[in-house]
Amino acid sequence: MSQFELLSRYGPRMLEGLLITIELVAISVTLGALIAVPVALARLSASRMLRALALGYSFFFRGTPLLAQLFLVYYGSGEFRSFFESIGLWWLFRDAFFCALLTFTLNTGAYQSEILRGAIRAVPRGQSEAAMSLGMKPRWIMLRVVLPQALVIGLRPLGNEVILMIKGSAVAAIITVFDLMGATRLAFARSFDITVYLYAAVLYLVLVETLRRLWDILERRLTRHVVRAAP
Amino acid sequence: MEQLFGLLSFGPDGWGDEIAAGAWLTLRLAAATLPFGLVLGFAVALARNSHRTWLSVAGNAFATVFRGLPELLTLFIVYYGGQILVQRIASLVADEYVEVNGFVAGLVALGLVFAAYASEVFLGAFRSIGRGQFEGAAALGLRWPAAMRVVIVPQLVRLALPGLANLWLVLLKETSLVSIIALNDLLRETSVAVGATKEPFFFYLVACLIYLAMSIVSSFGIVGIERWSDRGMKR
């Protein structure tokens, strides 16, 4: 089969797969961020219970392979089928895409909470002390003074985490999600032409590089008020 | 519950021995990948640091590609691509079918990714050593290999260690991908057990806990190594 034929037959499907990869990563990173904020706050809280719970969550998801987590959710949920049916959620857990989304969200939530925790601790103490002396309530100090600065500090590691998630999302193909990797695997199984993997490699590289460039622009824009020392 | 733990027993009825063998393979693969990845990563870092343009361009391209590709894709390209390559070479010599060893394919793929990230760590360490050290070594009349050996590398090890320790933990988890190319690692043996017992949640949870235990033991080891490499530092 010529390269042209190969691309015209499997190219559209791989591009659709690329969209699914983007969708999977975008949704899970966003939902993961929503998990990360309370978990990071719990890890910094005064309550020992909350700290232990948050640590346990982040430890489990950062210490085990994403693929094993995916199998645990996707195959493991089948064991609780009657339970999920009774609460009317079985249709969700039956779906490979949803299971991948859930696993990735929990996984990236754990990593993001760690990034956020580090960033919150990196905000100088004087900031919250000054806010306290102005009579701000602790909740508002966190929301208006500490978190906004922490988000800027955490921007670069967060960008790296998104890239890791793009790469990691390829394992969804193993549980029959037709993301870019899944579509490519199918194309390879039908054509036995190794070049489909090379085309997929190019697509992943373009995706990751684009994101890296966009993130640089975003970072420059969000830190434009910070005075930089001359290089 | 007791019945579930009975499934983990060693012997003909339990899956304990199979899973232990899988865990052993996982550890062997990670341990075999480490030296390959370290040496290659160091070489790539030297190339990226080089004054020769073609070397630094090649080094940077290597790092960009293998840090940007999904590890799973790298593994497939090495495994299937290697198969085709080996087959072509073999057909020149004899008319035989040669199969690529899954362990070697896994080692090469994981090693390439490890090297790409490790080169980044080494490069950062090179930068923080400072030019004065290179210049001082040159002023003492040390040639490049000697300067590397007695001046730069001893400092480099200490600076690069935290980053490399992180990469080791990542590597340990990434070995799970080889289960997809039918290598009997921890995750694959677990899947076999699941297929036979229909207890996915329990077995995958056990596998996760074994990976966790490996990470915890590694962390202790890393703390020990870091203390050793910091022994000359005054706090």
Please provide the DSSP assignment of A102-160 as one string: HHHHHHHHHHHHHHHHHHHHHS-HHHHHHHHHTT--HHHIIIIIIHHHHHHHTHHHHHH
Q: How far apart are CA A133 and CA A67, in angstroms?
A: 49
For B208, the closest of A64, A167, A168 (CB atoms) is A64
Across the range A105-128, mean pLDDT stands at 93
Q: How far is the CA of B25 from the CAs of A87, A116, A118, A172, A225, in angstroms?
A: 41, 36, 35, 24, 52
What DSSP designation does B77 have?
Answer: I
Burial pattern B170-181, b for ≥16 Cβ within 10 A else e, equals bbbbbbbbbbbb
Q: Name the residue of chain B whose CA is nearest to A192's CA.
A: B80
Q: Name the residue of chain B whose CA is nearest to A173's CA.
A: B72
Choice between A82 and B175, residue whose per-residue pLDDT is larger: B175
Enumerate the domain spans of chain A. Answer: 3-222
Is the CB of A59 less than 8 angstroms away from the CB of B212?
Answer: yes
Name the residue range of residue B98's domain. 2-229
Of A67-81, A114-128, A179-193, A217-231, the range with the lowest mean pLDDT is A217-231
Q: pLDDT per residue over B58-116, tens digit each?
A: 999 999 999 999 999 999 999 999 888 888 888 888 777 777 888 999 999 999 999 99
User: For residue A106, which of A158, A143, A59 has the smallest C-alpha distance?
Assistant: A59
Q: Taking a C-beta distance cutoff of 8 angstroms, is the pair B229, B160 a contact?
A: no
Q: How far apart are CA B202 and CA A7, in angstroms?
A: 43
Q: Taking a C-beta distance cutoff of 8 angstroms, is the pair B54, B210 a contact?
A: no
B234 is a domain residue: no
How much is the pLDDT for B171? 94
Q: Taking a C-beta distance cutoff of 8 angstroms, is the pair B40, B54 a contact?
A: no
Which residues of B are less than 8 Å from A173 in CB distance? 72
Question: Which position has the token pair 């202790």?
Answer: B220
B47 is a domain residue: yes
For A204, the closest of B69, B84, B205 (CB atoms) is B69
B12 has pLDDT over 80: no
CATH of the domain at B159: 1.10.3720.10
User: pLDDT band at residue B32, thresholds of 50, 70 and 90?
Assistant: very high
CATH class, range A3-222: mainly alpha
Q: How far apart are CA A73 and CA A67, in angstroms?
A: 10
Q: Taking a C-beta distance cutoff of 8 angstroms, is the pair A87, A120 a contact?
A: no
How much is the pLDDT for B23? 92
A171 has pLDDT over 70: yes
Instruction: Indicate the helix (H) or strand (E) that contains B78.
Output: none
Cβ neighbors of A117 (< 8 A, separation 6 or more) are: A40, A43, A44
How much is the pLDDT for A228? 62
Q: Taking a C-beta distance cutoff of 8 angstroms, is the pair B172, B214 a contact?
A: yes
Q: pLDDT per residue over A128-152, tens digit each?
A: 999 999 999 988 998 899 999 998 8
The conformational region for residue B16 under phi > 0 = left, psi -120 to 50 = alpha, else beta, is alpha
Q: Taking the C-alpha atoms of A176, A178, A179 and A184 in order, what is their torsion angle to the nearest 10 degrees?
A: 100
Which residues of B are less than 8 Å from A71 in CB distance? 187, 190-191, 200, 204
Share of chain B residues as helix, strand and coil, in percent rounded to the nearest 5: 85, 0, 15
Structure tokens at B43: 């070489």
Q: How far apart are CA B210 and CA B214, in angstroms?
A: 6
Structural domain count, chain B: 1
How much is the pLDDT for A225? 80
B235 is a domain residue: no
- Mean pLDDT, chain B, rounded, equals 88
Cβ neighbors of B34 (< 8 A, separation 6 or more) are: B114, B168, B171
Burial pattern B80-105, b for ≥16 Cβ within 10 A else e, equals bbbeeeeeeeeeeeeeeeeebebbeb
Residues in A lying within 8 Å of B, measured between beta carbons: 59-60, 63-69, 71-72, 75-80, 163, 166-171, 173-174, 181, 184-185, 188, 194, 197-198, 200-201, 204-205, 208-209
Half-sphere exposure of A206 (CA within 13 A, CB side): 10
Which residues of B are less than 8 Å from A60 in CB distance? 208, 212
B180 is a domain residue: yes
How much is the pLDDT for B233? 74
Is the CB of B68 less than 8 angstroms away from the CB of A167?
Answer: yes
Structure tokens at A98: 């949803």
Cβ neighbors of B164 (< 8 A, separation 6 or more) are: B38, B118, B121
The conformational region for residue A136 under phi > 0 = left, psi -120 to 50 = alpha, else beta, is beta
Is the CB of B199 less than 8 angstroms away from the CB of A80?
Answer: no
Is the CB of B205 less than 8 angstroms away from the CB of A166?
Answer: no
Q: What is the largest CA-CA distance in chain B?
A: 72
Q: How far apart are CA B180 and CA B193, in angstroms?
A: 15
Q: Name the residue of chain A whose CA is nearest to B199's CA.
A: A79
Total residue count of chain A as it appears in this document: 231
How much is the pLDDT for B3? 73
Alpha helices of chain A — where are they, by DSSP H? 3-43, 48-63, 66-74, 76-79, 81-86, 90-93, 96-122, 125-133, 138-140, 147-153, 155-168, 180-191, 195-222
